[in-house]
Chains A and B, each alone.
Chain A
Amino acid sequence: MSPELASLFLFGGFILLIALGLPLVFALGSVAIIGTYFLWGPQALAMVGLRTFSAANSFVLIAVPLFIFMGCMLERSGIATDLYDMMYKWMGGVRGGLAAGTVLICGIFAAMVGVSGASTVTMGLVALPSMLARGYDRRLSVGCIAAGGALGVLIPPSVLMIVLGLYANVSIGALFLGGIPAGVLLMVLFIAYITVAATLRPELAPALPRGERAAWRERLVALKAVVLPIALIVLVIGSIVSGAATPTEAAGVGAFGAMVCAAVQRRLTVTAVTESARITLRLSCMVIWIVFAASIFTALYTAVGAQAMVRNALTALPGGRWGVIIGMQAIWFLLGCLLDPIGIMIITVPLFFPLARSLGFDPVWFGVLFVVNMEMAYLTPPFGFNLFYMRGVAPPSVSMADIYRGVIPFVAMQALGLALMMVFPGIITALPRAVL
C-alpha cells in the first residue's frame, strides 16, 4: 500500500469513527489494529500488548493521577470560595474588578490543578452567580471564566504538558517554566480587554457601590485563608522547575499537602477523600487509556510514511520555515475546533515535532506554543470543552448563544498572545534558559 493510501485509510477511518461518537481510545486503538493487520499481518499484532505494557510502566505518567488528586482535594478544601471572597473584597470596588479578579483567581487555581475542567466548573459555580447578581454582563462573565479556566493546562502543573513532555521527549520542567510567562501574558491580555471594555461601557461591569465595599481590615483578614494553599503551590512547582524533584515526587508531596490543607479547613472527610479518588481514577483513565491506544496508532502511522507526507506538504507552503510554523498553528487551530487537546497532541506531535526540530526551532518554545494554541481549542465551537462545562454550571438565564459569543473576544486575545509569543520567542524561552 502506498503511504498516501495507507495514511488516508488511517486518518479517514479515525475521523469517521470519532464523528460517529466513538470514544477516542476505541477509535485510535481499533483503526491501528486493523491497519497493523493489513499492513504487517496478524503476527505483528503482538505489539498491541507490548506497547500497552510499556506505556503503563511509565514513571512520569504517575504524576497525572497525583496532580489530579491534588487539585480535587484543594477544590474540596473550599479554596475556591476563599479565594473568590478575598478577590471580591479587594477588587469589587473597581469597574470590571470582579471579572479581572476572576481571571487572576483562575490563574492561581490553574497553579493548583492540571486540567481545564476543574477551574472552569468551580469558578462557574462560585464566581458566575456573584458577577451576575452584581449586574455584570452575561457574556463578559461567562467569557472570562471559560478563558480563565483554560489556563489550567498552561500554568503548571499541567497534565497536558506531562503527556506532551513524555511523548515529544521534551523536559517537563522546561515546559512548566515556559508555561508560567505564557500564562501570565494571557492573563494580562484578558484583564486588559476587560478593563478597556468596562471603561468604554461601564454598564457591562459596574463597580460595587461605596457602601458595599470591604474595609481594609476585612481585606487583610481575607488574605489569611489563602496563605497555606499558595505556599503549597510554590513548594510543588518550585521543586519541579528547580530540578530538585521529579514531577511524580512533587505531585505526590503536593497531593499529601492538599490533604493537609483540607484537614486544616476541617474538610478532610471520608466522603471528600473517596469522591476525589474516584474522580481522579476516571480522569486519569480517560487520559492514559488514550495514551495506550495512541502508542499503537503512532507506531503504525510513523511506519506508513505519514511523516514524510506531512513534511512535504508543509514545506511547500510559502514563507520558508516560518511558513511551516504558521501552517502548523493553523492546523492545530482547526483541529482544536473538532478534537480535544490530548487527541490533537497524539496525532500531530510525532509529525510536527521532528519537523520543527529539524528546522532549528526550540522544542520547548514549540511545545508551549502548542499548549497556548490548545487554550483556544477549549473555547472554540463546535467542540470546546469549556463551553460544555460552562453550559453545565451556568444558570438558565445564560443561553448557549451567550456562551459562544462571550468567548469570542477572549479567543481573539489568545490568538494575539500566540502571535506575540511567535514574534518574540523570548517570552517563553527566557525563563527555562535562565533556570535550567
Chain B
Amino acid sequence: MSALRGFVRAVDWVNERFGRLVALLVLVLVGLVVMEVVLRYVFAAPTVWGTELITFLFAGMIMLGGGYTLLHRDHVNVDILHGRLSPRGRAIADCLTAGFALLYCGVLFHYTASVALEALATGRTTGTDWNPPLFPVMLSLPVGAALLFLQALAKLVRDLHLALTGRVLAP
C-alpha cells in the first residue's frame, strides 16, 4: 500500500512541477509574438525563425500540459449521472472507464514515440528557410502522452482504492 501511495504522490508531484514550469511558456509565446509583430509591421523585417519557433513552443506547451490538466480535473466531462453518485460510486464508474483513457494515452505514446525516434535517428528537418531539426518538438508528443498516461494510471489507483476500501488514498 505504501508503494502505491508513493507512486500516486510521485506522479502528482512530477505533473504539478512540470505543469507549473510549462505554464510559463505562455509568457515566452506572448513575448515572441509581440516581437514578431513589431519586426513585421514596424520594421518590415520579420525573422525567418519566429513563426516556426512559436508553433513548436505552443505544441510543446499543450502536449506537456495534458497530465497537469488531468491532475487538476480540468479535462471536461459530462456529469449528468456522474455528479449524482457518491464519491465511492463515482470511483467505481471511473474504474470501469479507466481502461479507455489508458488505451488512448498508450496508443498515442506508442505511435508518437516511433515517429519521434525516427526523426531523431534520421535527423529530419522541417525543410523551411530556418530548417531546424524536427525531433525536439516531436519528442514532446510521446513525453506528453506518457505524463498523461501516468496521471490517468495514478487516478485509477486512487479510484480502485476508494472503490475497494471506501477510504481516500493519498489525498
* Cβ contacts under 8 Å, B82 to chain A: 20-21
* Known A21-B90, A49-B114; contact A281-B23, beta-carbon cutoff 8 A: yes
CB distance from B153 to the nearest CB of A (A): 13
Q: How far is B121's CA from A239's CA once the two chains are assembled, in angstroms? A: 43
Q: Judging by beta carbons under 8 Å apart, are A253 and B63 in contact?
A: no
Contact among A56, A252, A277, A382 with B24 in the assembled complex (CB-CB below 8 Å): A277
* Cβ contacts under 8 Å, B63 to chain A: 56
Q: Judging by beta carbons under 8 Å apart, are B33 and A251 in contact?
A: yes
Which residues of B from 44 to 74 have beta carbons under 8 Å from A? Answer: 51, 54-55, 58-59, 61-63, 65-66, 68-70, 72, 74
Q: Judging by beta carbons under 8 Å apart, are A46 and B111 in contact?
A: yes
Q: How far is B19's CA from A282's CA once the two chains are assembled, in angstroms? A: 9
CB distance from B134 to the nearest CB of A (A): 9
Q: Judging by beta carbons under 8 Å apart, are A245 and B62 in contact?
A: no
CB distance from B118 to the nearest CB of A (A): 10
* Cβ contacts under 8 Å, A29 to chain B: 104, 108
Contact among B69, B90, B108 with A281 in the assembled complex (CB-CB below 8 Å): B69
* Known A49-B141, A277-B23, A282-B65; contact A33-B75, beta-carbon cutoff 8 A: no
Contact-size category for A: 35 or more
Which residues of A from 7 to 65 have beta carbons under 8 Å from B? Answer: 17-27, 29-31, 33-34, 45-46, 48-50, 52-53, 56-59, 61-62, 65
Q: Judging by beta carbons under 8 Å apart, are B141 and A52 in contact?
A: yes
* Cβ contacts under 8 Å, A53 to chain B: 59, 112, 115, 138, 141
Report, nearest first, the 6 A-B pairs whose CB atoms are least far apart. Answer: A252-B33, A21-B82, A49-B111, A29-B104, A30-B100, A23-B75
Q: Can you name 16 A-B pairs with beta carbons within 8 Å?
A: A20-B81, A23-B101, A26-B104, A29-B108, A53-B138, A56-B62, A57-B137, A62-B33, A62-B58, A249-B37, A252-B29, A252-B34, A273-B27, A274-B24, A285-B74, A339-B78
Q: Which A residues have a C-beta under 8 Å from some C-beta of B?
A: 17-27, 29-31, 33-34, 45-46, 48-50, 52-53, 56-59, 61-62, 65-66, 69, 245, 248-249, 251-253, 255-256, 259, 273-274, 277-278, 280-286, 288-290, 293, 338-340, 342-343, 382-383
Q: Which B residues have a C-beta under 8 Å from some C-beta of A?
A: 19-20, 22-24, 26-27, 29-30, 32-34, 36-37, 41, 51, 54-55, 58-59, 61-63, 65-66, 68-70, 72, 74-82, 90, 93-94, 96-97, 100-101, 103-104, 107-108, 111-112, 114-115, 137-138, 141, 152
